[in-house]
Amino acid sequence: MSYFDAASSAPLHPVARQALLASLDEGWADPARLYREGRRARMLLDAAREAAAEAVGCRPDELVFTGSGTRALHSGVAGALAGRRRVGRHLIVSSVEHSAVLHSAEVHEREGGTVTQVGVDWTGRVSPSAYAEALREDTALACLQSANHEVGTVQPVAEVAEVCRAAGVPLLVDAAQSLGWGPVEGEWSLLTGSAHKWGGPSGVGLLVVRKGVRFAAQGPVDERESGRAAGFENIPAIVAAVASLRAVRAEAAQEAVRLRELTERIRARVPRLVPDVEVVGDPDHRLPGIVTFSCLYVDGEALLHELDRAGFSVSSGSSCTSSTLTPSHVLKAMGVLTEGNVRVSLPMGAVSEDVEGFLDTLPGTVTAVREKLGAPTPSAVVHKDELVVDALGKRCPIPVIELAKVIGDVPVGGLVRVLSDDEAARLDIPAWCEMREQEYVGEEKAEKGTAYVVRRSS
């Protein structure tokens, strides 16, 4: 079995396993107590904090450990907003942030705050000038991820941090995906990370708040972790998390070169091996181990299941499932194809033979899934130079498949109206037109669902 989903959770690093087992015997006591066992636990916790601070590039007293990366983000956003409430209640986030940040933004809005979402280009990258334009006198906080979790695009954090610093606004950086590769550059104010992303145990996050940043921890607090992360510290897990961070950092430069070559191989060969594929994300400014692509006429869930049966554990950058029918907010913000989305995120130590096996398996798997989905016959009605395709009640990619089947039935310049009530069609039909060099006219209200209008160009 080839595990290609390190962006979700990296395998436990051998160093983390060793540190975890060793610290179970030494770090079980309460580090707040003054007796021998407590002092021993405190020494382990203090040493871990100092090592983590060195890796992040901050002072030890600026860093606290939390119960998860999500908890760190929730606490960081809420604490920074509360600390600067006198300035205002305006929050800036990018449209491709992790859901933990977007959920925090939703809570902030419900409580009377305002939120500006900064858009991205088709590679998923923000513009520093867009952040500059979003800043207001009442802006309390800006948030920006260091690298995207779905497509691997690296953000211009240093440039955005400089824009925010000039305006006197703190910038919170979600560094979950990138921290294992190196420290985050720039004059950021707050930073979060998640240990299971770099080969540490799950259940350990970190939150850094620079000195001078106004911060008011929200919710019940206690004396632990400077009052910013209540509850008894999981010292064995914290020690293991920091040990793994130091270990992967020591290997990062060499592994980055090797994994980048493997993902370049995937980026280059998948479009040649499989027709109608769009590789998404920034081709240059991206993490070494992530490559994401979308396949036309393919149900992403079905494709992932088939690849799993073939021995490859991959994920989808899209959160579209049979229960929600909701396309990924990241892919939606980028304006790229959402159907048939596959994210390959290679763990450190991934080997060339496994990548070659994946490339050998993928074409046949995509073909098999496409054949299964090609069975439905479109219900089409022709009126002169116009054709109406009824795809109501059918989940994407079926509306796109039916459009592709009938586009040749109208003359050049003729129109096809696709009736669909699947939200993903709003993204995937324009993306199909772009790939097939057909003209997407727009959408119209229909008696049921929405009519997506396409003009045949060739």
- For the annotated catalytic residues, the residue numbers are 320
- What does the alpha-carbon distance between residue 65 and residue 193 come to, in Å, rounded to a whole number? 10
Helix, coil or strand: residue 163: helix
SS3 category, 426: helix
Name the residue type at position 113.
Answer: G
Residues 7, 343 contacting (CB under 8 angstroms): yes
- 335 and 122 in contact (C-beta within 8 Å)? yes
For residue 285, the tally of other CB atoms under 10 A from its CB is: 15
Cβ-contact 147, 156 below 8 angstroms = no
Cβ-count burial of 198 within 10 angstroms (0-12 exposed, 13-18 middle, 19+ buried)?
Answer: buried
Q: What letter represents residue 339's amino acid?
A: E
Q: Could you give the dihedral angle defined by the CA atoms of residues 273, 276, 280 and 284, in that order, rounded to the nearest 10 degrees?
A: 50
Edge-first strand listing for the sheet containing 341-345: 277-280, 290-295, 341-345
DSSP alpha helices (H): ranges in 113-208?
Answer: 128-134, 157-167
For the record, the structure tokens of 102 come out as 């977007």
CA dist., res. 354 & res. 262, Å (int): 10
For the chain, how big is the Rg over CA atoms in Å?
Answer: 24
Buried b (16+ CB within 10 A) or exposed e, 120-158: beebbbbebebbbebbeeebbbbbbbbbbbbbbbbbbbe
Q: Beta strand 415-420 with 439-445: parallel, antiparallel or unpaired?
A: unpaired
**Both tokens of residue 216?**
């008011």
